[in-house]
Amino acid sequence: FVIVVVDSTDRERISVTKEELYKMLAHEDLKKAGLLIFANKQDVKECMTVAEISQFLKLTSIKDHQWHIQACCALTGEG
């Protein structure tokens, strides 16, 4: 499994996250890995929603890996 924690408030670096995510998923050792994305800091006003993050990362285009995106807040443990 690959677990990625996304800072939902960091709109400037989401493109870096996308680039690194696809590099990881293309690696031979992760060919059969599932993907879990935690969209952290959902408690912060004006953060990106799970839908926005999913759309930006183009998660629906990932066909070779099972994936799930989960809204969460590390401070409260929610999600």
Binding-site sequence positions for GTP? 40-43
Rounded Cα–Cα distance for residues 37 and 67 (Å): 8
Give a yes or no: residue 15 inside a domain: yes
At residue 38 the predicted structure's pLDDT band, cuts being 50, 70 and 90, is very high
Q: pLDDT, tens digit, for every residue of 1-34? A: 999 999 999 999 999 999 999 999 999 999 999 9
Binding-site sequence positions? 40-43
Give a yes or no: residue 76 inside a domain: no
pLDDT reported for residue 70: 98
Give a yes or no: residue 48 inside a domain: yes
> Within 10 A of 45 (CB to CB), how many other CB atoms are there?
5
CATH of the domain at 64: 3.40.50.300
